Amino acid sequence: MQAHPYREQRSLFGEILDWMLAPLLLLWPMSVALTWLVAQSIANRPFDRALAETARTIARQVVVEHAAGGASRVKLRLPEVANEVLRSDEADRVFFQVLGARGEFVAGDRELPVPDEVAAPAQELRYRDDDVQSDAVRVAYVWLPSTGVPGEVPPLVQVAETLDKRSRLATEIIKGVIVPQFVVLPLAVLLVWFALARGIKPLNELQQRIRRRESHDLSPLQERDVPEEVAPLVGAINDLLGRLDRSIGAQKHFLADAAHQLKTPLAGLRMQAELAQREIDAGEQDPKALKRSLQQIAHASQRAAHMVNQLLAMARAEDKESSRSRQDVNIARLARETVRDFVPRALENRIDLGYEGPDEGQALHGRLTGQPLLVRELIRNLVDNALQYTPAGGSVTVRVMDDPFGQVVVLQVEDTGPGIPEAERELVFRPFYRALGTNVDGSGLGLAIVHEIVQQHQAEIAIADARPRTGLPSGQGPGALFTVRFPLARRDELLPDGTAAPSAASPDDRDQPAGGLPAPARR
């Protein structure tokens, strides 16, 4: 079986901190990028407006003259002073260009590129980014009204400017926004750390309270002293502590009762051994006395062995892990074998022990799944209990009754003993409890084992009088009738090999009436 790889223990504080800081640290570069784009847009706006105003001013100085031959002539009436003003920018270089109606150069800088698009509507100002002498520039251009002469194009006015001032302004905006973030971000991380540490502090206090507890202190934790989000966890811990307290209490009670019950046969065993040793030391060689002592020793050791076996059976019945693995159980065969095992004891006590139910080779109408070992232990304890309380000359009957509808299988153990009063029928299933008014020597564990096995098989057990209590002959009791109803598996469930479970009705069962259980014969 492949072992699971070791999984490193995670820190709740660290995981929450990661989930809080990771988005913050991820959004910060995005914020820087968005700030850069916004700064570029903000920086371009005033300079684009100034560039556009310059282009319109130059456009107003363009004059179109119509010659006698029909051709148009474009002139720029730009004073020399204005030309010098355009060149006076200390940070950036400014270029301008005027093209005539035939695309000829009129004035300005020849190296300024011409736009690629066809002439746009007149007086519509446009912008583009371009390069002049390996310098990036921002260009504002406008097409003037057409001359109306065929073959001529509208005159073009362009003004370009390098990007130094724009870059400086964008940098200043970014510095004004980003630099404070370098102060705010560590402060935010520190505040998140402090808030998280303060928020998780109640968990540390709860941990310290639990660590300071004594190992025997299983009292519930105070839920009102913890945050609302942790209250369900504390409630679950309290529920576990309560169940653990009850389990430990039951174990202590069980061990105390077991020690008390074992003490009696062990004390008798020791007393008889010491008595036999004194008789041998005194020189008494009476074989009958020694035989009586040895018989008492054998009886006491038998009682102790029976008690130990019952304790082991109780432990097996309470083992939850083993009860999860289930297999088919032939309860009729187990009942027959148990009856055969107890026949010598029944004959010794002059008790009529019998079995009523399906014979060997006959199958039930459904499948009983469970633990065969535990079901056998259940039947043995019921039969042992019946033989113990049935007087000489009485009878004990074990019945297995089949259900033709395949819903349940019924196990009954009936005796002719003193019976169990109705007030004690719930108490007899407690460990070490024995019915009052009886001198039967027993451990008081048999019916407790039966009850535990019944619960693990989701079955039901009931106790009733075997006979009416009124009109009984003197000296005879009503007897006890133990009835256990085991639920059967549905017919559409699968067998362990994966095949569908077939109907197990025998040919004889087909003749049974559909109204109830068949009447078993006593054997």
Q: What is the pLDDT along the chain (523 residues), one digit of tens a residue?
A: 455 555 566 677 777 777 777 777 787 788 878 888 888 788 788 888 888 888 888 888 888 887 666 677 888 887 775 666 666 677 788 888 898 888 888 888 888 898 887 666 777 888 999 999 888 999 999 988 887 777 788 888 999 999 888 888 888 888 787 778 778 878 888 888 888 888 778 788 888 888 888 877 888 888 777 777 778 888 888 888 888 888 787 777 667 766 766 666 677 777 777 777 777 777 666 677 777 777 777 766 766 776 676 666 666 666 555 556 678 899 999 999 999 999 999 999 999 999 999 888 787 778 888 888 889 889 988 999 999 889 999 999 999 998 777 789 999 999 998 888 888 888 888 877 766 556 566 667 788 888 988 988 889 999 999 888 777 776 678 899 999 999 988 655 544 444 334 433 333 333 333 333 333 334 4
- Tell me, yes or no, whether 262 and 332 share the same domain: no
DSSP 254: H
Pairing between β-strand 480-487 and β-strand 460-465 as defined by DSSP bridges: antiparallel
CATH number for the domain spanning 21: value is 3.30.450
Residue after which a domain boundary falls, among 151, 171, 191 = 171
Q: Are residues 19 and 124 in the same domain?
A: yes
Is the CB of residue 273 less than 8 Å from the CB of residue 297? yes
Residue 522 lies in a domain: no
DSSP one-letter code for 97: E
196 belongs to a structural domain = no
Torsion of CA 484, 490, 496, 497, to 10 degrees: 150
Q: Helices 372-389 & 331-348, crossing angle to 10 degrees?
A: 30
Q: Are 397 and 409 in contact (CB under 8 A)?
A: no
Q: Are residues 130 and 159 in the same domain?
A: yes
Judging by beta carbons within 10 Å of its beta carbon (0-12, 13-18, 19+), is residue 128 exposed, middle or buried? middle
Is 167 found in the same domain as 19? yes
352 and 454, same domain (yes or no): yes
Which of 169, 144, 147 lies closest to 157, judged by CA? 144
Same domain, 380 and 288: no
pLDDT at 4: 52
- Write out the residue range of the structural domain in which residue 164 sits: 13-171
Q: Which residues pair with 353 in a beta bridge?
A: 396
Q: Check whether residue 305 and residue 340 sit in a common domain.
A: no
Instruction: Note whether residue 210 is domain-resident.
Output: no
Tell me, yes or no, whether 359 and 483 share the same domain: yes
Q: Which of 254, 283, 315 is the last residue before a domain boundary?
A: 315
CATH value at residue 310: 1.10.287.130
Q: What integer pLDDT is reported at residue 522 of this predicted model?
A: 44
Asked whether residue 1 is assigned to any structural domain, the reply reads: no
Contacts 24+ apart (CB under 8 A), 468-472: 469/419
Same domain, residue pair 292 and 343:
no
Number of structural domains found in the chain: 3
Beta strand pairing status for 395-402 and 352-356? parallel
User: Which amino acid, 503?
Assistant: S
CATH number for the domain spanning 387: value is: 3.30.565.10
Chain centroid to CA 334: 40
Report the distance separating Cα 128 and Cα 115, nearest Å: 9
Q: What is the DSSP string of 42-89?
A: HHHHHHHHHHHHHHHHHHHTEEEEE-TTS-EEEEE---HHHHHHHT--
How many CB atoms are closer than 10 A to CB 15? 10
Both 289 and 333 in one domain: the answer is: no
Domain match, 99 and 119 both: yes
Q: d(Cα 137, Cα 95) in Å, to the nearest integer?
A: 9
Domain C-terminal end among 153, 171, 189: 171
* One domain for residues 117 and 149: yes
